[in-house]
């Protein structure tokens, strides 16, 4: 008899997690609580409630977490200008700590002994979910069916459904994407299928959120983004909530062919993986945020942020959102954003985001000093001679010792 009496499952309502519900009930002889998160995946989440009820689930959570997701996870990450391996905007990665947090909250509310998820033993998500869970509730038991069962293919999962009378709607089978997809307000990802060949170019009808750049409008779209402490609070002077900001930018960016990415990345578990991503709103946000920072941040602060960003990105990608080191970095990043206020004007045109203007009352740009015209003595050019000689001192000493470089 299992000592697990109740399990909280991260439940999507799809094939895998529907099988997991029944598998948990039978393997562990336990009660299952389902949790479905609406983080802007663009699909109706309420049907998951009926599906869970049909599987005998008594406690069913369907939570709208869109505002919390953008406010407390996406925005803090973008304050750091976060990119993993030079390209990936971490759309999947940043959603996992929120889901892990809510799983633990529900486990505490319902008195559950364990949590469960549908991540496979090959991917990063198992690490992200479980690192988050253990950070928030050290003694929690985690059940990862993909690491325990022998249902290793879609055919076996479907057969299990037939044997255990699990209702699965296959009426749209022909319309189903051949790819494994994950979506939220920040992005949509595509993996598997033909994409497992890195030489394969994705077909145009794979993409869901964006038009091809060559099919985008021939006229550019201009927008103005208002920043307060590093976060966008209004678009074209219209105040918006965090989730509304991102949804609006996704729409504008997608219509202009912005945000497509084809990437081979290094997973934390050790293998390389090829995936395609659409992040239209995030692509705009990154470019615009760097623009407002270029105007308002001290040079050394900006450079320090840039130097630390790859480490921050690794923390998010690898699942260490709840770690003390990420929190420490976040405190420094957030403190730097106190002066990141003002407006950025960007031009969206055929897959490109171009900064067209920026302004801020906290600007460190001094036209009197930077001008190529007469600066009326604001900058004494003779000072540069001593500056250069002092910085060349070590180079001259080394050269006198015949330590040639290169």
Q: Would you please indicate which residues are annotated as catalytic (active-site) residues?
A: 16, 96, 125, 180
Q: What is the rounded CA–CA span in Å between residue 71 and residue 224?
A: 20
How many degrees, rounded to 5, is the angle at CA 335 between CA 332 and CA 341?
A: 135
Phi/psi for 9 (5° steps) reads: -110, 130
Question: Three-class SS string for the chain?
Answer: CCCCCEEEEECCCCHHHHHHHHHHHHHCCCEEEEEEEECCCCCCCCHHHHHHHHCCCCEEEEEECHHHHHHHHHHHHHHCCCCECCCECCCCHHHHHHHHHHHHHHHHHHCCCEEECCCCCCCCHHHHHHHHHHHHCCCCEEECHHHCCCCCCHHHHHHHHHHCCCCCCCCCHHHCCCCEEEECCCCEEEECHHHHCCCCCCCHHHCCCCCCHHHCCCCCEEEEEEEECCEEEEECCEECCHHHHHHHHHHHHHHCCCCEEEEEEECCCCCEEEEEEECHHHHHHHHHHHHHHHHHCCHHHHHHHHHHHHHHHHHHHHCCCCCHHHHHHHHHHHHHHHHCCEEEEEEEECCEEEEEEEECCCCCCCHHHHCCCCCCCCCCCCHHHHHHHHHHHHHHHHHHCCCCCC
Contact 89, 289 (CB under 8 A): no
Cα dihedral sign for 174, 179, 180, 184?
negative
Closest CA to 118 of 88, 94, 73, 148: 148
Q: Which residues pair with 265 in a beta bridge?
A: 273
- How far is it, in rounded angstroms, from Cα 205 to Cα 210? 10
């Amino acid at each position: 008899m299992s000592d697990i009496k109740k399990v909280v499952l991260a439940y999507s309502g799809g094939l895998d997690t529907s099988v997991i519900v029944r598998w948990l009930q039978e393997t562990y002889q336990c009660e299952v609580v389902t949790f479905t998160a609406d983080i802007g995946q663009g699909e109706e989440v309420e049907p998951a409630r009926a599906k869970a009820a049909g599987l005998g689930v008594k406690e069913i959570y369907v939570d709208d977490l869109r505002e919390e997701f953008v406010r407390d996870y996406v925005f803090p990450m973008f304050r750091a200008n976060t990119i993993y391996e030079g390209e990936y905007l971490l759309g999947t990665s940043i959603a996992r700590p929120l889901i892990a947090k809510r799983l633990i909250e529900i486990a505490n509310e319902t008195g559950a002994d364990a949590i469960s998820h549908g991540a496979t033993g090959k991917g990063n998500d198992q690490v992200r979910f479980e690192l988050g869970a253990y950070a928030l509730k050290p003694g929690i038991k985690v059940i990862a069916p993909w690491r325990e069962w022998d249902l290793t293919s879609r055919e076996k999962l479907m057969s299990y459904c037939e044997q255990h009378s699990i209702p699965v709607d296959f009426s749209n089978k022909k319309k189903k994407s051949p790819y494994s997809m994950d979506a939220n307000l920040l992005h949509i990802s595509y993996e598997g299928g033909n994409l497992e060949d890195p030489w394969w170019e994705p077909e145009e009808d794979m993409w869901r959120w964006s038009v091809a750049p060559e099919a985008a409008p021939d006229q550019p779209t201009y927008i103005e983004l208002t920043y307060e402490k590093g976060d966008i609070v209004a678009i074209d002077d219209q105040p918006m909530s965090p989730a509304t900001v991102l949804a609006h930018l996704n729409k504008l960016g997608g219509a202009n062919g912005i945000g497509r990415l084809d990437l081979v990345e290094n997973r934390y578990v050790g293998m390389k993986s090829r995936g395609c991503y659409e992040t239209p709103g995030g692509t705009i946000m990154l470019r615009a945020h760097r623009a407002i920072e270029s105007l308002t941040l001290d040079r050394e602060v900006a450079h320090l942020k840039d130097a630390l960003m790859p480490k921050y990105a690794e923390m998010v990608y690898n699942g260490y959102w709840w770690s003390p080191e990420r929190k420490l970095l976040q405190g420094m990043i957030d403190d730097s954003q106190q002066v990141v206020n003002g407006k950025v004007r960007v031009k969206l045109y055929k897959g490109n985001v171009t900064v067209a203007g920026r302004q801020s009352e906290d600007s460190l740009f001094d036209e009197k000093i930077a001008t190529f015209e007469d600066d009326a003595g604001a900058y004494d050019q003779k000072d540069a001679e001593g500056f250069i000689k002092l910085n060349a001192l070590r180079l001259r000493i080394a050269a006198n010792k015949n330590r040639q470089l290169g």
